[in-house]
Each structure stands twice: as structure tokens, then as C-alpha cells.
Structure 1
Amino acid sequence: MILNKIHLTYCHRKPERSFFWKGKQFPVCARCTGIHIGYLTFPIFLFGFVTLNFWITILMIIPTYLDGTIQAFFNRESNNFIRITTGIIAGIGSMSLISIIGKKIGDYILLLI
């Protein structure tokens, strides 16, 4: 299968860093799985059911970068629970950030009309 031959730099598909479903390994690592799950919250932010402060949004994204950076550059191995948890939080924060930026661009465009 061609997907198994694609080498992803950040989602290296190491078995100890991935989840398995019915004996099949996920195509991305646990952290990216969490990020993708967090992406599912986009409609909640898009339609204004929930709004978060810009700085809270940034703080939500930071832990996944810290965990990944510490794991990459220091001799500390994270675990899948931490990876998926920080990934979900970062995915939600990313969707909040995208909605904040999109609304600001929309407001700016409406001011120009």
C-alpha cells in the first residue's frame, strides 16, 4: 500500500507512538491523531457557539510544541496519553485561532466596503 511507503517527518509512525485499530496502525502518530480530533471543533468556533480569548488560544497550542520539542532535543520520551491530550488541546486552540483570524479579516473587509 502506498501510504505505508510515505515517510512523514513529524508523524514517523513508530509503533510505540501510534494507535492501532483492529490490528492496523493509524497513519499518523498519537499527537497528530489528537490534533485531528481537535480540528473537529471548528464549526463550534465558526458559528460562534464558543469564543476564546486570543491569548488563551495561544496557550492551548503551546503544550504540544513543548512536549514535541522536549522529546526531540532532550532525552525524555513522552507517552501516548500526553501526546493525544496535548494534541487535542492544540487542535482546539488551532481552530479557535483560525476562527479569530477569519473573523478579524472579515471585519476588516466589511470596513472597506
Structure 2
Amino acid sequence: MPSRSFFFRGKQFPVCARCTGTYLGFLSAPLFIFDVIYFNWLWSILLILPTVIDGLTQAYMNRESNNILRLITGLMYGVGLMSLASLIGRAVGFYILDLIK
């Protein structure tokens, strides 16, 4: 939908504003992998919640979001997801190391 995506130099982005934010959030993965930043499980889930709330309230409460809000919640979702992936990867890695010992 053109109303839900950004335009750059007259060209429409191939993904919606929320997905754009999510993909930008995915770029934070190296920060978690190399321990530049660290969020615990709670913070990771709290970063994901605004996207869920925004999406559900749009779907069920007759509310329309805007592209800036979609971008910000998507960015938070992407960062939260990368943090969770890092935490899960670390937990699985330590579990495997314990099995090997």
C-alpha cells in the first residue's frame, strides 16, 4: 500500500514503514553478537511489545497508525528481536558446551 510505505526521490520503498524499521533494527545484530550492548530477556521483550500493541490496536480498535510510528515500532521490534536471538544463541551455546564437558 502506498500509504503505508516511504518514498525516496519519487520511488516507493518495496516494503512498508514497519518492515523498513524492522530491517534497520536487524542491523543492530553485530552490536549484540560482539557484546557492544546487552539487553536482558525482559528488555528484549519490552522492545517487541510496542509493535504488537500498535498492530493489534490497528486491527481491532479502528485506529490508524502513521508511518513514523510504524517505523519507530518496527525499529524497536528489530532491535528486540536481535537481542532475543543473541540471548537464545548464547544460552544454546553454553548448553552445548556443558554437554561437551
Per the normalisation by structure 2, the TM-score is: 0.96
Q: Which runs of 5+ in 1 are unaligned?
A: 1-13
User: Partners in 1 of 2:16 and 2:52 — Cα distance?
Assistant: 14
User: Which structure shows the higher helix fraction?
Assistant: 2
User: Partners in 2 of 1:56 and 1:85 — Cα distance?
Assistant: 16
User: Partners in 1 of 2:43 and 2:79 — Cα distance?
Assistant: 11
Instruction: State percent identity of aligned pairs.
Output: 55
2:37 matched residue in structure 1: 50
Q: CA deviation at 1:73?
A: 1.6
1:73 aligned onto 2:60 = yes
Q: Which runs of 5+ in 2 are unaligned?
A: none
1:59 maps to a residue whose letter is L
Query: Considering only aligned residues, what root-mean-square deviation do their CA atoms show, in Å?
Result: 0.7
Query: What is the aligned residue count?
Result: 100
2:30 maps to a residue whose letter is P
Q: 78, 97, 100: which one pairs with 2:84?
A: 97
Q: CA deviation at 1:16?
A: 1.1
Per the normalisation by structure 1, the TM-score is: 0.86
CA distances 1:30-77 after superposition (whole Å, capped 9, x unpaired): 011000000000000011111111011001001001101111122100
2:51 matched residue in structure 1: 64
Following superposition, which runs of at least 4 residues in structure 1 exceed 4 angstroms of deviation? none
1:18 aligned onto 2:5 = yes
Q: 78, 82, 90: which one pairs with 2:69?
A: 82
1:4 matched residue in structure 2: none
User: Partners in 1 of 2:52 and 2:16 — Cα distance?
Assistant: 14
2:99 maps to a residue whose letter is L
